[in-house]
Amino acid sequence: MRGVKMWLWIVATLVMIAIIAAATWAWTPDRSRAELEAKYLSDPADMIEIAGTRLHLRDSGAAKSGRTVILLHGLGSHLQTWDGWANILDDEFRVVCFDFPGAALSPPDSTGRYDDERASELLLGIMDHLGVENASIIGNSVGGRIAWKFASQHGERVEKLVLISPDGYASPGFAYGKPPEVPFIMSAMKYALPKSMLRTNLEIAYGDETRLSDATMDRYHDLMLAPGNRQALLDRMKQTVLQNPEPFLKKITAPVLLLWGEEDRMIPVTNAQDYLAVLPDARLVTLPDLGHVPFEEAPTESIKPVLDFLQ
C-alpha cells in the first residue's frame, strides 16, 4: 500500500511539474513600449494625436503632395504589413498608413471604443490633420470593411477604393445586429501567446505558408506584446457589430477594385460575388496561389492590378 501511495505521489509531482513547465513556457508578458519604439518607430514625429488618442502614422512618398493613398490594415496587424506596397506606391503617390488604436505602436484608444464609427472618425481626423481633401483608400479584411463603410458615408473624400478580401458579410459566429460571442478561452492570450501559437494562426493567412518569413513572424509577435494591445484586440472583437452591407455598398460612388487571393482561407474568394452584385462600379481581380494578405505574401506581383487601377 505504501508503494501505491508513493507511486501516486510521484505521478502527482510529475503532473505538477509538467503544468508549471507548460505555464512557464506559455507565459508571455508585455514588452515595454520604449523597447518596441526603439525597434519599430522610424521617427518620434510619427506619433500624433487624433480625436483624443495617440496614433502611430507614416506619411511618405511623392514629396507628400499630389494624389494620396491611405492604407488600412486588418485585425491584429500593423502598418508595416504594407511596406512592400508602400515602397512601390511612394514613387507616384503620397502614402499614408497608420496603426489603429491598440495595434502595434498605437496605444489603446483613450475612449475605449473600437467600433467602425470610431474608426471612421479617426480616418476623417487623419485626413483633416494632414490636409488631404480626398484620397484613394485601400483596406484589407477588417480594414476593408472600415474602408467601404467610410466611402459610403464620406463619398466626397474618396477618389477610388481598393478592397482586399474585405470583411463585412455575415458568417458563422457573426450575425447582423449583435456582437459575436468571443470564446472565453481567447482571454488567455493576455497572459500566454507563444510565438509558435501565433505562427499557426498567421500561416492561415498565406496561400503558401512557407512565405511567412521569420522576420515577419518576429515583428507580429513583438507588436502584439505592446502594453494593452491584447486586451484592445479582444475589445475590438467584442465591439464588432456587423450591419447588412448592402445599403452601404449601394451608396458608394467611387470606382472599386476588389482584389482577392484565390487561396484565401479566411474570407473565401466566392464572397466577391456578393460585392459585385451590389456595388455600382466594381471590378474583380483574383490572384492565383495567394491568400488573405497578398500585399505581404507577394507584394511585387499583387500590386500590379492596383497600380493599373489607380493610374
Give me the mean pLDDT over the 40-53 stretch.
97
Question: How far does Cα 311 stand from its chain's mean position?
Answer: 26
pLDDT in tens, 177-212: 888 888 877 888 999 999 998 999 999 999 999 999
Task: Give the bridge partners for 258, in sequence order.
Answer: 163, 284
CA distance 41 to 98: 12
pTM reported for the whole predicted model: 0.90
Give me the mean pLDDT over the 132-156 stretch.
97
Q: Among all chains, which residue has been given the C-alpha cell 473624400? A: 157
Q: Check residue 161 and give its pLDDT.
A: 98
SS3 call for 259: strand
* 8 A C-beta contact, residue 160 and residue 136: yes
Give me the mean pLDDT over the 100-111 stretch.
98
Q: Is the pLDDT of residue 16 over 80?
A: no
CA distance 285 to 288: 10
How does the average pLDDT of the chain come out, rounded?
90
Give me the mean pLDDT over the 238-243 stretch.
92
Q: Check residue 66 and give its pLDDT.
A: 76
> At 65, is the pLDDT very low, low, confident or very high (cuts 50, 70, 90)?
low
Q: Is the pLDDT of residue 3 over 50?
A: no
Q: Check residue 73 and give its pLDDT.
A: 98
SS (H, E, C) 76-107: CCCHHHHHHHHHHHCCCCEEEEEECCCCCCCC
| Nearest Cα to Cα of residue 257 among 136, 156, 122 | 136
- Strand residues in the chain grouped as ranges (E): 47-50, 53-60, 68-72, 94-99, 135-140, 158-164, 256-261, 282-287
| Nearest Cα to Cα of residue 298 among 310, 287, 311, 306 | 287
Close Cβ partners of 81 (under 8 Å, ≥ 6 residues apart): 73, 74, 140, 293, 295, 296
Instruction: Report CA torsion sign: 140, 168, 204, 288.
Output: negative
